[in-house]
Amino acid sequence: MQYRPLGRTGVQVSSLVLGAMNFGPIGRTTQEDANAIVDVALEHGINLIDTADMYGQGASEEMVGRAIAGRRDDIVLATKANEPMGEERNHRGSSRRWLYKALDDSLRRLGVDHVDLYQVHRWDPATSDEETLSALTDLQRAGKIRYFGSSTFPAYRIVQAQWAAREHHLGRYVTEQPSYSILQRGVETHVLPVTEQYGLGVLAWSPLASGWLSGAVRAGRAATNHRATILPQRFDPTVPANRARADAVELLAKVAEEAGLTLIQLGLGFVTAHPGVTSAIVGPRTVEHLRAHLAAADIVLSADVLDAIDSIVAPGTDLAAHEKFDTPPALLEPALRRR
């Protein structure tokens, strides 16, 4: 396992992160499964576990809490807030009111008195940066969080938040969690250059492109991965973006085979090769899935392999940009662009 500095925090984290989104109802992973996955992850050197309150509406955090009981100090523990937790209109977002309650709820579910990294799951256009950063700074000073970060923020919002932190003398985001894979390279255009400029740690989610790079999705046969069951539109072969992904995967499979690698090793090795990326988040549902991911822990792709990947999916290209969750609100809501 490789270890890298988490931005400028001084904390060393593993190049692979255990993502717990599949713990609970989303991935149908039981507590027994979660315990085994955490055991194997820690045995193989993973030291950062990432979850969120909205994963299974709290179920993932509860399962992570039980799985790490008795060894909290050996783990860099990260969670997130912002996404809806129930139907109440104020049980979401990035206001001080909600972040205070959301964090207390997360700490209770996790069975800990603090988290190491607390992340704003999505940018909340209804809440000012000053409001959010002020709340996070106070929670940090209270000892409930050690650091805070953002997730899936557009580049200009990362810059704006850094400016607001300096302008108002508040703590700043020290990490960003973007979607990044061979098939979704758009963050190379603006996000990763910005995170490098500000010294942010980067924890890349969906490095295997929701299973497209796991080997479970291949041309000429139906997708067999779990995501195809819960998000069938992402694998519908009649969708142009999916056809483009399928064509790319076939070419990438040849590159992997010629390099003596699995598709998973190629996909994870590509993400962790970027100098702006700290770690890739893997989200196994079973120990077998995790072991396949761990086989990529020390993979270093050669320049020839990286060049071959570039020839298949050009740098900065998203093959399914609509799945990025970072589209500016003004492009989604007509009222924001019309008088």
pLDDT tens for each residue of 277-297: 999 999 999 999 999 999 999
Coil/strand/helix, residue 190: coil
User: Reduced to 3 states, what is the DSSP secondary structure of residue 204?
Assistant: strand
Amino acid at site 161: A
Torsion of CA 37, 285, 192, 253, to 10 degrees: 110
Query: What confidence tens digit (pLDDT) does each residue in 176-222 have?
Result: 999 999 999 999 999 999 999 999 999 999 999 999 999 887 765 55
CB 213 within 8 A of CB 267: yes
Put simply, whether the predicted model's pTM sits higher than 0.85 gets the answer yes
pLDDT above 60: residue 37 = yes
Which tens digits make up the pLDDT trace of 49-72? 999 999 999 999 999 999 999 999
pLDDT of residue 114: 98
Q: Where are the beta strands (DSSP E) in the chain?
A: 3-5, 12-14, 16-19, 48-50, 76-81, 115-120, 145-151, 175-177, 201-204, 279-282
pLDDT at 285: 95
At 228 the pLDDT is 60
pLDDT at residue 122 in the model: 96
**How does pLDDT run across 319-333, given as a tens digit for each residue?**
998 887 877 778 888
In the chain, % of residues over pLDDT 70: 96
Average pLDDT over residues 303-318: 97
Query: Domain segments of the chain: what residues?
Result: 3-210+265-300
Per-residue confidence (pLDDT) for residue 229, from 0 to 100:
63
- Superfamily of the domain at 3-210+265-300: NADP-dependent oxidoreductase domain (3.20.20.100)
pLDDT of residue 237: 85
Please give the pLDDT value at position 137: 98
Q: Residue 270 above 70 pLDDT? A: yes
* 55 in active site: yes
Percent of the chain at pLDDT above 90? 87
Mean of per-residue pLDDT scores for the chain: 94
Confidence band for 34, pLDDT divided at 50, 70 and 90: very high
CA distance 178 to 8: 18
pLDDT tens, position by position, 225-244: 666 666 777 888 889 999 99
- Among 42-46, 218-222, 264-268, where is mean pLDDT lowest? 218-222
> Could you report the per-residue pLDDT of 85-111, keeping only the tens digit for each?
999 999 999 999 999 999 999 999 999
**Which of 55, 147, 173, 180 is an active site residue?**
55
